[in-house]
Amino acid sequence: MREMPHVRFGFVALSLSALIAATPGHARDLSGPLATPETANRLEQKLQRIITAGAPAAIAFIRDGTRRWIAAKGVADIKTRRLAKVTDAWRIASVTKLVSAHFGSRLQAEGLLDLNAPLSRISPHLPNALGQVTVAQLLNHTSRLAEYLDHRVLGVTARGMAASARRRPDIDALVTRALRSPRVDDPMAEHQYANTNYALFEHIIEQASGQSFEALMTSRIIEPLQLTHTGLTDREGRIPVPHLRTYIRDDTRVGGPFSSRNRLLDVTEHPYFRGADGGLYASAGDLAKLMDAIWDAERAGKRPLGQLTERLYSDHDGFYRYGLGVMAVLLSCGKTIYGHEGQDLGGSTVAFANRENTRQLVLGVNLSTDNNAALTRAIESFRETVFCS
């Protein structure tokens, strides 16, 4: 996930059956209405608000108990004008961290990895200053490692970011530079979010399991769950199944970076976030299944999200608390939801559920929220409608 202003959210039981019949390109309701036609109309308006805020497309999956609804609205590709479909995949970016931390939890349960072990015991070749950092500190971002994908790599403007998407940097060199950089000290935060933590953790779980991260994903997630639209992007950042193209708004002289309302830059294919820090793509239905598997595994071992949320750390502005790869967000209605957000170069992902996983939301939007307050508010309003009834 890039360093950027957080999307603020908070989430209201809903029904979308009326929306399905009214809007071309929507999937059919999988199991009947979830609430009233009035709620369906309300959510249709809120989904449209995401499109009105500039997003070419939005895909949403909602589950309340055993009742489910999935929908796609808008265009997946602004060049071809292909309508988005509910089976389209997209890069879920930092939502990958939820899966990566789950791997760590499972490997510990199998006796293959100790999350409390210092890195010096696992990877003695690391710089001495990192020797006492534990695996768990990587997963909850309390290691204070510097970010390997900073403004020097990605740029601070839309044109700069689009140019960075066309480069083929040495990711290992970027991570090594971050590991050798001074540790970050933010006295206002209990943790310091950095993709470097999970880039390093990827090597650790590969050593512990004897498998590549991609092989782990395939053998432990994709094949057992029969996910047909999930995987890791290739080295060029390509997705091999039908997918959403993702965009950033162009720069303007008056509004500054990412402020254009008329011109979008395609940044779908890029070489960043290829592994445990953010390399997964998935469809809405596949991501919902993946979340179910994580909640079920945690429940079997202890309680829903037990180990992953035993200790939570606050970020610098109090927006969320962070466990092992899990964001815990306190909503305006007093409810807490668990999961992760994902911000790719272009596009935004929401993947949250309540602790018991009786209510769940997956939302994919193929436009970055950078300098787009209207889109941020639209996503926030959609989430609020799902969880805060």
Ordered alpha helix ranges (H), 279-358: 284-301
Strands 321-322 and 327-330: antiparallel
The answer to whether 145 and 184 have CB atoms below 8 angstroms apart is: yes
Q: What is the pLDDT of residue 369?
A: 96
pLDDT digits (tens, 9 = 90+) for 309-324: 999 999 877 789 999 9
Among all chains, which residue has been given the structure tokens 């779980």?
A: 205
Residue 373 makes CB contacts below 8 A (sequence gap 6+) with none
Residues 6+ apart with CB under 8 A from 372: 53, 54, 249, 258
Distance CA 359, CA 380 (A): 17
Q: What is the mean pLDDT of the chain?
A: 87
Token pair in block for residue 253 = 């002289």
Question: pLDDT of 102-122, one tens digit each?
Answer: 989 989 989 999 999 999 888
228-284 pLDDT per residue, tens: 999 999 988 999 999 999 999 999 999 999 999 999 999 999 999 989 999 999 999
Q: How far apart are CA 59 and CA 68, in angstroms?
A: 14
pLDDT value, residue 12? 30
Segment 140-173, tens digit of pLDDT: 999 999 999 998 999 999 999 999 999 988 999 9
Asked if residues 164 and 154 have their Cβ atoms less than 8 Å apart, the reply is yes
Query: Residues in the chain, how many?
Result: 389
- Give residue 47's pLDDT: 87
